[in-house]
Structure 1
Amino acid sequence: MTLRERLLLSPLYDWFGKRSYAQSGEDIIADLELGRKGKGVYIDVGAFHPKLFSNTYLFYKRGWSGVCIEPRPEAKEWFLKVRNRDKFVGMGVGAKKDVLEYFEFDDSATNTFLKDQVEKNIKEAGRKLKRKINVAVMPLADILASSGLGNAPIDLMSVDVEGMDLEVLASNDWKKYRPKLVICEDLEYDFESPKSSGTVKYLLGLGYGLVAKTPYSLIFKDKNTREE
């Protein structure tokens, strides 16, 4: 854990009135789209850290709870300490049940299961590979089925898994676990050709509409969601 990550676990981080914990204000946009709802349920895939770059911690502070999924072994202790209302799942998400190599870097925000991403991290971003570990992965639908969510309505799903976002989305059971709002990382989105994005095509096909774009993420809303 870096010094920055340790400091962010302290309650002092919250006492200075920070409004957004997300990387680019995704949580503020989601809050507006969801009508500043008092309590709700979220699913956070690639939750990374309880507060840093979190699309869901703002909602946790308000009384929400949900399922946080993160493969970093050290993350479990942090989430149990800081976000004990949440169900933490320490594994990866993929198309099928498997055990995959997980590559950890000096900048843990760039950790990945993808070997081609490893090369980019080293050659293009100058990151240093710290270690490789084996991590269990399961489809999102299977993880949620054993999470204790039951039939609780899901307000928000956040997906940030360094290049595997579409695979994660496709592993969900959208009839059973259908959030009102989806935040998904998409660094390849092209304003001039939005449907060239696999994420856009997939979620539009499921009946979602693209409502916002930040430097790192796309935000989709279920077209059947009623305004509250």
Structure 2
Amino acid sequence: MKTKIKKVIRKLMPNMYARLAEIKSNKILKQFKKDYPNTKIFEPVHKDARKLYSQDNQDYIVYENFFKGKKNGFFCDIGGNHPLTINNTIYFEELGWNGIVFEPLPYMSELWANHRKAKLFPFALSDSEGKVTFTIVKDSTGWEDMLSFIKETRDVDYDYETEEIEVETKVFKDIVERENIKQIDYLSLDVEGHELNVLKGIDFNKVRINILTIENNPASCYIYGDERIREIMFENNFKLWGRTIGLDDIYVNKDFLESLG
């Protein structure tokens, strides 16, 4: 009901709605800065201001601050979606890095196989093995399909045409053990609301991960983010180093941070 009311107000009084939304967002951002005074804040960017490939310069931020000049790294892209458009890992592959990607959408998996070198795992990740219903948001202008999601996690009502498919889920710790992966330099996690479940399936004691960007923008608190995600990361020796407002948290392994001097 609240969502429908918001849509009506947005349609009938767009200027008032925008102003109220701005006031609310500024208040929440102020609270975030108070709670995390040492976390770097990165504002959203217009597509013309993207320095590399990521939506809000995540790849550029990670490269410039932690991996500048590094040619032999290893990345992991969980929820890769399109391999070339608004993608967090393609730049690192262009630098010569190797990596793995998890992407359950059949047509996206085919694009990865044809256009990227990363090893492809065509299924979803979660905190248990099984099968889930995946809602595909059909592409109408070139980007909406990136909103596709696991229905059990985010059953929302988009104003786009959708279809549902069944996809297989695996657990991250089982895959990295089978593949004998001991270290990941950069992990990008963007699974439209299922991030918490994926994190529960990672054994941080078995694989060293240096940097993570994690989409953390639930509809109820997209400016501030979900504290449950942060609790898991703090418990596993990570620092909330940065945040792209309304989108991603950027985490740095404290041991890795110390090694940088």
**1:80 paired residue among 113, 116, 121:** 113
Aligned pairs for 1:154-193 (under 5 A) are 154-187=184-217, 188=221
Alpha-carbon distance between aligned partners in 2 of 1:60 and 1:116, rounded to the nearest angstrom: 30
Which of structure 1's runs of 4+ aligned residues deviate more than 6 A?
A: none
Query: For residue 243 of structure 2, what is the amino acid of its counterpart?
Result: K
Tell me the residue number matched to 2:243.
213
TM-superposed CA distance for 1:144, in Å, is 2.3
Amino acid at match of 1:169: L
Instruction: Please list the CA deviations of residues 46-73 of structure 1 after superposition, one character each: whole Å capped at 9, or x if unmatched.
Output: 0111121211111011001111001101
Aligned residues: CA RMSD: 1.9
Q: CA deviation at 1:173?
A: 1.4
Percent identical among aligned pairs is 22
* Residues 1:223 and 2:254 are matched in the alignment: yes
> Helix, strand or coil for the counterpart of 1:59?
helix
1:102 to 134, 139, 142: 134
1:90 is matched with which residue: 122, 128, 131?
122
**1:154 deviation in Å?**
1.2
CA contact (8 A) 1:102 1:132 kept: yes
- Residues 159 and 74 (structure 1), Cα distance of their counterparts in 2 relative to 1, 3 Å cut: same
Residue 155 of structure 2 corresponds to residue 118 of structure 1: yes
Indicate the residue corresponding to 1:7 in structure 2. Answer: none
The alpha carbon displacement at 1:38 in A equals 1.9
State the 1:153 CA deviation.
2.3
Point out where structure 1 has 5 or more consecutive residues left out of the alignment. Answer: 1-17
Relative distance call for 1:95 and 1:59 in structure 2 (3 A) is: same
Please, which runs of 5 or more residues in structure 2 have no aligned partner?
1-49, 139-143
Question: Is the Cα–Cα contact under 8 Å of residues 211 and 220 in structure 1 kept in the other structure?
Answer: yes
Equivalent residue letter for 1:183: T
Q: Distance in 1 between matches of 2:223 and 2:54?
A: 22
**Candidates 86, 90, 93, aligned match of 1:53:** 86
Question: More helix per residue: 1 or 2?
Answer: 2
After superposition, what is the alpha-carbon deviation per residue over 1:115-162, rounded to whole angstroms, capped at 9, x for unaligned? 463324x2xxx2221x2111000111122233x3x2442101110001
Which one has a bigger Cα radius of gyration?
Answer: 2
User: Could you say which residue in structure 2 is the equivalent of 1:70?
Assistant: 103
Partner of 1:3: none
Structure 2 length-normalised TM:
0.72
Structure 1 residue 40 and structure 2 residue 73: aligned? yes
Normalized against structure 1, the TM-score is what?
A: 0.82
